Amino acid sequence: MKEYISDKEGIIEYYRDKNIVGNYSINRFSDILGRVIHRVQIEYINKIIVDNNVDVLLDLASGPARISQDIMGFKQGVALDSSMPMLDIARQLLDKKRWIILEGDAFDLGFEDNLFDMIYSFRFIRHFKRERREELYKGLFRILKPNGILIFDAVNYNKAYSVRKMVGRYNIYDELFKKNDLINELDENGFKVQVLRGHINHFYSQWFFNKFFSKLSDKKAFNLVYKLEHIESENPLEWLVLCRKK
């Protein structure tokens, strides 16, 4: 059985592959559930920016600017990724007056201390095992302002373990977190969790509407999946983690 890609070099190489780069956004928006996930993430981040008067932010492992192209309400943004092919797409989508686009290493951040009001990162931190995540936390802690905000996505072990059996293996390693373990891990690395927002709250129902109802009406299926996402769940597939530098 093929092993997951879980090392830094392997992940960098994976996201430089032309086929992965070319199909990345297409795959994310090809179905209703993917579009709902994107919309919810954008709405959440934009609200946090407005509520906290965020001026300077960092999109860590930005990829082709899937998230950042729709972010509003800030003054200056930095999109950083190790994949130049991904950044070539990002340059076509981002406002050059508001965004600095950088090729760089998330494990060796060359920014000054206490620079960013907020950092967000999707489909990245979760791809590394504990030791490597702690390296990331250390760098992010350094470059965030006091009380600065870190937002990222984390996969819920209690839900995802059974779901992964149904949908099959992924190429890239994903950490499956237990809630208290996640909170403690962040606390031990200098971050206080403020909110764990349920994300993909009703996976099986949302997956069903995504797969079958879209054949009848794309708009109706989208609305059903979107409405379900706003009904809280004790056991979501993932969380949107909002924490602050202590």
User: Which is it for the CA torsion 99, 103, 108, 110, positive or negative?
Assistant: negative
Listed in sequence order, the residues at least 6 apart from 246 whose beta carbon sits closer than 8 Å to its beta carbon are 187, 190, 191, 192
Average pLDDT taken over every residue of the chain: 94
Q: Is it the case that residue 18 has pLDDT exceeding 90? A: no
Query: How confident is residue 1, by pLDDT bands cut at 50, 70 and 90?
Result: very low
Q: What is the pLDDT of residues 48-64, one digit of tens each?
A: 999 999 999 999 999 99
| Mean pLDDT of the 180-189 span | 98
For the chain, percent of residues with pLDDT exceeding 70: 97
Query: How confident is residue 169, by pLDDT bands cut at 50, 70 and 90?
Result: low
3-state secondary structure labels for all residues of 140-175: HHHHEEEEEEEEEEEEEHHHHHHHHHHHCCCCECCC
CA-closest candidate to residue 106, choices 129, 118, 91, 124: 124
CATH number for the segment(s) 8-245: 3.40.50.150
Lowest-confidence pick of 13-22, 30-39, 70-79, 214-223: 214-223
Query: How confident is residue 166, by pLDDT bands cut at 50, 70 and 90?
Result: confident
Q: What is the pLDDT of residues 145-158, one digit of tens each?
A: 999 999 999 999 99
Q: Is it the case that residue 228 has pLDDT exceeding 70? A: yes
CA-closest candidate to residue 102, choices 126, 80, 75, 133: 80
Higher pLDDT, 145 or 2: 145
Q: 3-state class of 64 per DSSP?
A: coil
Higher pLDDT, 6 or 148: 148
Q: What is the pLDDT of residues 206-220, one digit of tens each?
A: 988 888 876 677 888
| 8 A C-beta contact, residue 179 and residue 196 | yes
Q: CA end-to-end span of the chain, whole Å? A: 42
Domain extents in the chain: 8-245
Q: Is it the case that residue 2 has pLDDT exceeding 80? A: no
